[in-house]
Structure 1
């Protein structure tokens, strides 16, 4: 059993064509300019409904968590409800590129199905989100397995909550790989994804069901047969953590609403029990390094919290890459992710899982969790967390894929994503802007959307300014 959770499909339910901040604010201005023509009663109604505009939940979730009780996990907008089956005979179909919401009971296994061809690699991410008020044991967690129709095992992944026993979102992934070194799981047909708790007896954990978010992805084959071994030479030295003044970036409350980051020093404030999500675009040939630092407190409390701050790195398929855990006694402390190789398609052939997970370009996810037990010794905070993110190496061309991934573009880095990382604008607001750009909505609806976007942008940029 591996120590920490791995996994994201942030693009499911998020608009790919991200406009620049200038364009976004310009559109908002056009919409808000219509307020003069709206009756006072309509304007009041619009203002009252602005906070409920679709697409803002991921961006505002972390903000509410910083104000008091940690926010629950924010699912992808439009996630479809699906029920896990007790028997594979009744397993409902998962469509690649579509986000699903489900539930995992305290005992037993639930299954889902997926139809695959004989050429593409496939990945299924499962994120478990226990209630923040629940109890979890050190050995409890999430297990995800994939089998073919003949019952052959394609993959198994197990993730746990860690030594702090703090309930928070964890993710595990299953995969079906087409490889010349693997004889099984290569046929086209129906495959089954099974999900269960790592501790089937649930000893020391609450019997409550856990919410689940599921997302399947497919990666097409390459035009040329690649190497059967991983690159043997790469810079494995641990770089000096990036220096400089920290800039405020408020993390999202789920994979789909992760806040974009690029190289830099970033500051956020966490309450005990809170989990925040960020995404970093990493191109082929580039290396990602990250350090998390928990600042000192003046609460006057004493004691020591094991695993007070967890930082987990997930790849674009929400597969676990690496993690680091930081203990806390009230004084500042930090921890760095272990050195990782440059992103390379051939890394998947490595015997070390940590190297094999750095197998494609795209958005890599940094997920930070402050243990609930920190409050027992040092109060409710908030506590200052600093992320030092370095992306080194020269970008290079990736493999020539035959066909398109699902969702499209998930294993590449676009100019829009680079811009979003520089600006720190999450995808949730982009979905709202798409509703404005598409048109076909009345003045009253446009006003609601415009005020909602204005609220999101103001809350995101206010602390930094």
Structure 2
């Protein structure tokens, strides 16, 4: 059920001798119109073909035979058009001492990371003959050279042993690449490795914000490799029309409806202007995805985004939103959002100051990255979603409908791949069960379309995985969001490899059916469900308390019920036949118009445009932990503060 969210920081008392951790978005999913794949992170698969791969696999055959089958499974599972390349090391020489110099440079690119040609890639891997050395560090350098010079990019490394060409150590290689500005995420798979090789591969993964996964035999490798590749492909990609906020309101760019992309600095305030016609409602949200970091003290691992609204001549409208994420170093995606209805109120002109935040006109939204955790970059990308919903001539049904009922799904679960951001969320197209596999430390998104009169009810089941203890102990979290990315509800719990369900205190997390009139509901938590469109669900598996890299990926099952029947929505006062054709919120995936330079504030009630874009078309706990030694201490989750 939906519970009203408190106006103070929520505290949970944890009684265990442990750290409970939580979790970058890293995107395989569908485009916002649901017709095909969205932007994926170019990914190089680097495969070990050293002499040791001729050894026997416990499941039968050679290790190389097992690796080839696993690559075929990866190819079969990859989305059409996915930018996947393949490199191998160890095929050009033997592994004698006389061949060491050449063998340690022996890295061959079989396929560059272009749109995947499944047949060609399968043929290429079938022709690999293992022979030589294990130049892991050099293979990472070659893979980085093949990938684009900017934007998200990933490497999936499969090795059955440690680097036989070090120094330099592979960890030093990726640190050097990072120092050269190469933003590379490496996901490593250890194929039947010993403790030394496991530590080396885990170091490479963790130093880049990636994941390490053990595959003890052929069967495990065939299961694991497609999952790890999916994680690599859903590397987070901020998106939007470029915009540059300003430190003062009077110079702020005027942003049209849609999605924009800016950067925000530590303790910096950025202003943006939005023209809102009389009677319209404005939506403004900002999303920052924090990078995965290691070794950050949880006590200092908090980030806060604040959002304020200003009216005519910069008058403070006393609209304040604050959202906080703890354990941001696990790659938290943090959104702060506001719904501004000042333009729906009458500007009487009776007071020079009292009506500055009423009526149509230009309003300003000020974003600030207030509280900053240790180790994060000086600036981070921020996605800005802006929507302008016209006035209505008929709001439609007014009564708030009761919560819909969760129905146990029937039929076989269907696989779905969650996206690394709101922009590329995996689509849940109807009621039923959906399955995915999350690496430890992943934060992924799914989306479901709700029409007027419809709601949703869902639960997330985390399957049992092998192993117990601190090296397997994570926090699991799920949240549901409105089309404007405003959080509706959430639940979390600890996860130690035993089967777990969220919510933990009921059958499902449930929303009320969507109605325009919900925005005036007596129950505050219901007011957010007043816009039809794409609602998002996030599922998170935190990094383990003791992150040794041995904790297994977590299979999940998401059971969904779309409740209620579609009904007519509100009638909007469109400004033109074109606006009516597009609809009140724009076509899915409609990009934002380029921002215009700041100019004189528009006259009250005379906003320049009523072109609108829907939250439906917008492309794109956090948690904390507490150490208890003989006593429980508080676990700070999230804070949300609103003053009106």
Same-fold status (TM-score > 0.5): yes
In the superposition, relative to structure 1, how do residues 339 and 359 fare at CA in structure 2: closer, same or farther (>3 Å)? same
Count of aligned pairs: 377
1:272 corresponds, among 437, 440, 460, to 440
2:383 aligned residue: 213
Q: 1: distance between equivalents of 2:520 and 2:579?
A: 20
1:191 aligned residue: 363
1:352 deviation in Å? 3.4
Cα offsets for 1:122-175 (capped at 9, x unmatched): 101211111122757565332222221342326332222257873311212122
Q: 2: distance between equivalents of 1:260 and 1:241?
A: 20
1:218 deviation in Å? 1.1
1:50 aligned residue: 115
1:394 paired with 2:565, answer yes
> Which residues of 2 match residues 216-295 of structure 1 at below 5 A?
216-224=386-394, 231=399, 234-236=401-403, 239=406, 241-242=408-409, 244-261=411-428, 262-295=430-463
1:333 deviation in Å? 0.8
Q: 1: distance between equivalents of 2:285 and 2:451?
A: 21
2:251 corresponds, among 90, 97, 103, to 90
Q: 2: distance between equivalents of 1:104 and 1:188?
A: 28
In the superposition, relative to structure 1, how do residues 187 and 292 fare at CA in structure 2: closer, same or farther (>3 Å)? same
Q: 2: distance between equivalents of 1:105 and 1:406?
A: 39
1:155 corresponds, among 311, 314, 319, to 319
1:325 deviation in Å? 1.4
2:334 corresponds, among 162, 170, 175, to 170
In the superposition, relative to structure 1, how do residues 281 and 345 fare at CA in structure 2: closer, same or farther (>3 Å)? same
Give unpaired runs (5+ residues) of structure 2: 1-6, 11-29, 38-78, 81-108, 117-146, 157-184, 188-209, 211-226, 348-354, 589-616, 620-644
Q: For the Cα contact (< 8 Å) 1:312–1:367, is it kept in 2?
A: yes
In the superposition, relative to structure 1, how do residues 19 and 313 fare at CA in structure 2: closer, same or farther (>3 Å)? closer
Q: For the Cα contact (< 8 Å) 2:280–2:344, is it kept in 1?
A: no
> Which residues of 2 match residues 330-341 of structure 1 at below 5 A?
330-336=497-503, 338-341=509-512
Q: 1: distance between equivalents of 2:324 and 2:186?
A: 27
2:280 aligned residue: 120
1:179 deviation in Å? 4.1
In the superposition, relative to structure 1, how do residues 341 and 159 fare at CA in structure 2: closer, same or farther (>3 Å)? same
Q: For the Cα contact (< 8 Å) 2:306–2:369, is it kept in 1?
A: yes
1:116 deviation in Å? 1.8
Cα offsets for 1:336-374 (capped at 9, x unmatched): 354321111111012434211100111111122221246
In the superposition, relative to structure 1, how do residues 357 and 194 fare at CA in structure 2: closer, same or farther (>3 Å)? same
Q: 2: distance between equivalents of 1:81 and 1:321?
A: 29
Q: For the Cα contact (< 8 Å) 1:290–1:390, is it kept in 2?
A: yes
In the superposition, relative to structure 1, how do residues 193 and 109 fare at CA in structure 2: closer, same or farther (>3 Å)? same
Q: 2: distance between equivalents of 1:367 and 1:407?
A: 32
Where 2:489 maps in the other structure, the secondary structure is: strand
1:23 aligned residue: none
2:269 aligned residue: 109
In the superposition, relative to structure 1, how do residues 348 and 82 fare at CA in structure 2: closer, same or farther (>3 Å)? same
Q: 2: distance between equivalents of 1:164 and 1:46?
A: 36
Q: 2: distance between equivalents of 1:205 and 1:310?
A: 24
Higher RCO (CA 8 Å, separation ≥ 6 residues): 1
Cα offsets for 1:18-42 (capped at 9, x unmatched): 499xxxxxxx99xxxxxxxxxxxxx
1:192 deviation in Å? 1.3
Where 1:103 maps in the other structure, the secondary structure is: strand
Q: 2: distance between equivalents of 1:269 and 1:361?
A: 29
Q: For the Cα contact (< 8 Å) 1:109–1:194, is it kept in 2?
A: yes
Q: For the Cα contact (< 8 Å) 1:270–1:381, is it kept in 2?
A: no
1:385 corresponds, among 556, 559, 565, to 556
Q: Aligned Cα RMSD in Å? A: 4.3
Q: For the Cα contact (< 8 Å) 1:284–1:342, is it kept in 2?
A: yes
Q: 1: distance between equivalents of 2:330 and 2:34?
A: 37
Q: For the Cα contact (< 8 Å) 2:471–2:544, is it kept in 1?
A: no
1:241 deviation in Å? 4.8
Where 2:484 maps in the other structure, the secondary structure is: coil
Q: Which has the larger radius of gyration?
A: 2
> Which residues of 2 match residues 332-371 of structure 1 at below 5 A?
332-336=499-503, 338-371=509-542
Q: 2: distance between equivalents of 1:427 and 1:14?
A: 11
1:304 deviation in Å? 7.7
Where 2:517 maps in the other structure, the secondary structure is: helix
1:419 aligned residue: none
2:304 aligned residue: 141
1:16 deviation in Å? 4.9
> Which residues of 2 match residues 408-427 of structure 1 at below 5 A?
408-409=582-583
Q: For the Cα contact (< 8 Å) 2:32–2:424, is it kept in 1?
A: no
